[in-house]
Structure 1
Amino acid sequence: MSRRCELTGKGPMSGNNVSHAKNHTRRRFLPNLQDVTLQSDVLGRSFKLKISNAALRTVDHRGGLDAFMAKAKEAELSPDALKIKKEIAKATAAA
């Protein structure tokens, strides 16, 4: 199970713990991932995704899952999210 956002591709970063004595030890900064269910207005169904808190705020800001997917870059999306994007695009083109 990867710790990667399905919508933005945000994943773990690495850095250092720095003690008061300036000793450096390696550490990982993990993204704030949440399991959420997002509703698609065009398709009329919901999808369970594992996304970062920042991506959830972006989805709300853009006006929902459909609007987010319209602007999302395909390189950042997970394979499941890419399928959702193509379904939404197909449904909006048909309507």
Structure 2
Amino acid sequence: MSRRCELTGKAVLTGNLVSHSNRKTRRRYLPNLVNVTLTSDVLKRSVKLRVSANALRTVDHRGGLDAFLLKARAEELSQKAVELKRAVQKASTEAAAAA
């Protein structure tokens, strides 16, 4: 399982740990990933995703998983999230056509 957020694409960064004596050693900056279950209002089902804590805040800010997926670019989403985005787009257009 890769250390990458499924919604924002946040991944591991590398850099230097610089000591007081200015010695530099390589280190890894890991994203704060959590396993969450998010519910889709349009699809009326739950989805398990591995996302960063920052992405959770963004999902809440944008008004839920469906709004986040509709606004997100496909390049930064995981394959699972891209398929979910397509399903949300299809369901929302069908709901708009029926109304």
* Shared fold, TM over 0.5: yes
Distance in 2 of aligned mates of 1:79 and 1:66: 16
* TM-score, L = length of structure 1: 0.99
Distance in 2 of aligned mates of 1:46 and 1:65: 10
Distance in 2 of aligned mates of 1:12 and 1:49: 18
* TM-score, L = length of structure 2: 0.95
- Structure 1 runs of 4+ aligned residues shifted over 4 Å read none
Given the alignment of the two structures, is residue 53 of structure 1 paired with residue 53 of structure 2, yes or no?
yes
Identity %: 62
Distance in 1 of aligned mates of 2:51 and 2:39: 14
Distance in 1 of aligned mates of 2:69 and 2:81: 9
Distance in 2 of aligned mates of 1:51 and 1:24: 31
SS at match of 1:49: strand
Count of paired positions: 95
Q: Which runs of 5+ in 1 are unaligned?
A: none
Question: Which residue is 1:94 aligned to?
Answer: 94
Question: Which residue is 1:13 aligned to?
Answer: 13
Q: What aligned pairs does 1:1-95 form with structure 2 within 5 A after superposition?
A: 1-95=1-95
Deviations 1:25-84 (A, max 9, x none): 000000000000000000000000000000000000000000001100000000000010
SS at match of 2:47: strand
Q: Which runs of 5+ in 2 are unaligned?
A: none
SS at match of 1:77: coil
